[in-house]
Amino acid sequence: MLKRKMNEETKINKVPVTFLGIETSCDETAAAVVRRDADGRGKILSNVVHSQINEHSAYGGVVPEIAARAHVEVLDMMIAEALDRANVGLAGLDGIAVTAGPGLIGGLLVGLTTAKTLALVHDKPFIALNHLEAHALTVGLSHGLQPPYLLLLVSGGHTQTLIVKGVGSYERLGTTLDDALGEAFDKTAKLLGLDYPGGPEVERWAARGDAERFSLPRPMKGREELHFSFAGLKTALRQQAKSIEPLDDQDISDLCASFERAVTETVSDRVVRAMSAYLERTGHDAPRHLVVAGGVAANKSLRSALQENAAAAGFDICIPPSELCTDNGAMIAWAGIERYSQGWIDGFEFEAKARWPLDPDAQAAMGAGVKA
């Protein structure tokens, strides 16, 4: 049995609840200790992250084999540091949560095996988490916000809009048909010869550029369907760049600014339509909250545009702080607490999942493939 829900007789209502969270799904090794007090508020007792940027920068992207080895080398030390900073021993934990998917299978196995071992040896509840669910629930930790709300998830591997109905209950509205937004930023940076990771670099160069210089498409803008697409935008930028080679610094800045403007307008259009769909499906009296999560949520241009979009539609916008938007252990620990408090625990036979949609019942989007 991969998952089981405690019955009411065994459900634990203890407060406060303290969890260790472990994250190894991609190129950050992270561990954190989070506590939820009796009033429901979360407190981050520690949150340590080891970035693998140096290991992957020469390749312009994440190399799965290198990532897995790097997790093996540092994870034990990261966990020890997280516990030490929190001044909490393993005996003082109420449970251990870990990312079990989606992600790079080698990295997932490192974290999952470590978490299972600790939970088994120290007789602690074990929670295997969907990484996307952790992003979806982070606003409960950062803002105290509870479902329902509309979520825009923008990360290196996923770009989706979803209705968050409750812990473990999600309805996907739109997904990317090709590249995720973070992926499109990284590929654009690599095309222009910028450093890795690409998202912050494109944003930095765009700040000095003319966003009107290059005419780039706004894929899917105006379409009734709620999906995203970024591959054509990336191709158009490559064609523009090749047409003016060799590129000087101003060319690169202008290309980045034009790309960022196209992305912002495209995502804004998709989100405005998603807000309407959210109200249609949940009722116009439903709480009007737009949550933006994932690493690309740190982009200032996108954040500003979405704040305007939300205000115009009568929505409040909630964006976790940047350190909780990128991959981290605190969001894993918090999501573990949320599931545990609802009565969910997992068996040690739970296996890593490279693909793990939040809404498994969503209709497949033509062309989306694994991004569904």
Q: Is the pLDDT assigned to residue 4 strictly greater than 70?
A: no
Question: What is the pTM for the complete model shown?
Answer: 0.93
Question: 101-137, pLDDT tens digit by residue?
Answer: 999 999 999 999 999 999 999 999 999 999 999 999 9
- Indicate the length of the chain as a whole number: 372
Structure tokens at 116: 């299972």
- Give the mean pLDDT of 162-179: 96
Per-residue confidence (pLDDT) for residue 2, from 0 to 100: 42
Helix ranges, 99-148 (H): 105-121, 131-142
Asked whether residue 10 carries a pLDDT value surpassing 70, the answer given is no
Task: Tell me the pLDDT band of 9, cut-offs 50, 70 and 90.
Answer: very low
Cis peptide before 357 (omega within 30 of 0): no
- The whole-number pLDDT of residue 295 equals 87
Tell me if 322 sits within 8 A of 13, measured CB to CB: no
Domains in the chain (CATH in brackets) are: 3-143+326-371 (3.30.420.40), 149-319 (3.30.420.40)
Cis geometry, peptide bond prior to residue 16 (ω within 30 degrees of 0) = yes
For 214-234, the pLDDT digits (tens) are: 999 999 999 999 999 999 999
CA 183 – CA 187 distance, rounded (Å): 6
- Give CA–CA dist 258/364, Å, rounded: 31
- Long-range contacts: 237-244, Cβ < 8 Å, 24+? 237/188, 237/191, 238/191, 240/214, 240/216, 241/191, 241/192
Give, in degrees to the nearest 5, the angle at Cα 343 between 338 and 346: 90
Residue 135: name the closest of 275, 41, 23, 52 by CA. Answer: 23
Please list the residues that pair with 234 across neighbouring strands: none
The mean of the pLDDT values for the chain is 92
pLDDT per position as a tens digit, 256-309: 999 999 999 999 999 999 999 999 999 999 999 999 999 899 899 999 999 999
63 torsion bin: left (phi>0), alpha (psi -120 to 50), beta (else):
beta
pLDDT at 27: 87
Maximum pairwise Cα distance, the chain: 70
pLDDT for res 1: 35
